[in-house]
């Protein structure tokens, strides 16, 4: 069986990977941070509302997917 590199996947698959990682963040936010009161130690965090942390996680996920999708010559296909 031939394996594919991440950069060879279609755009819809890359978007699905991003959605999965963002859902993982949302679940951790909902079930760990909000319920155990860890938000008290996170500046600019808003419980049950979009905040800077959500935006930062989305940017990191988009950057990671973009970086994994680049067609660099340093990695073999």
pTM of the predicted protein model? 0.83
Residue written as token pair 């999965």: 20
Dump pLDDT digits (tens) for 7-52. Answer: 999 999 999 999 999 999 999 999 999 999 999 999 999 988 899 9
- Longest CA–CA span in the chain (Å) reads 49
Round to whole Å and give the CA distance between 68 and 3: 15
Residue 34 near residue 48 (C-beta atoms within 8 A) = yes
Q: Does the pLDDT value for residue 4 go beyond 70?
A: yes
């Amino acid at each position: 069986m031939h394996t594919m590199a991440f950069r060879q996947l279609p755009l819809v698959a890359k978007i699905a990977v991003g959605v999965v990682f963002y859902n993982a963040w949302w679940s951790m936010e909902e079930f760990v941070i909000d319920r155990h009161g860890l938000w008290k130690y996170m500046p600019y965090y808003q419980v049950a509302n979009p905040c800077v942390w959500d935006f930062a996680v989305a940017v990191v996920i988009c950057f990671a997917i973009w970086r994994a999708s680049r067609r660099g010559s340093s990695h073999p296909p």
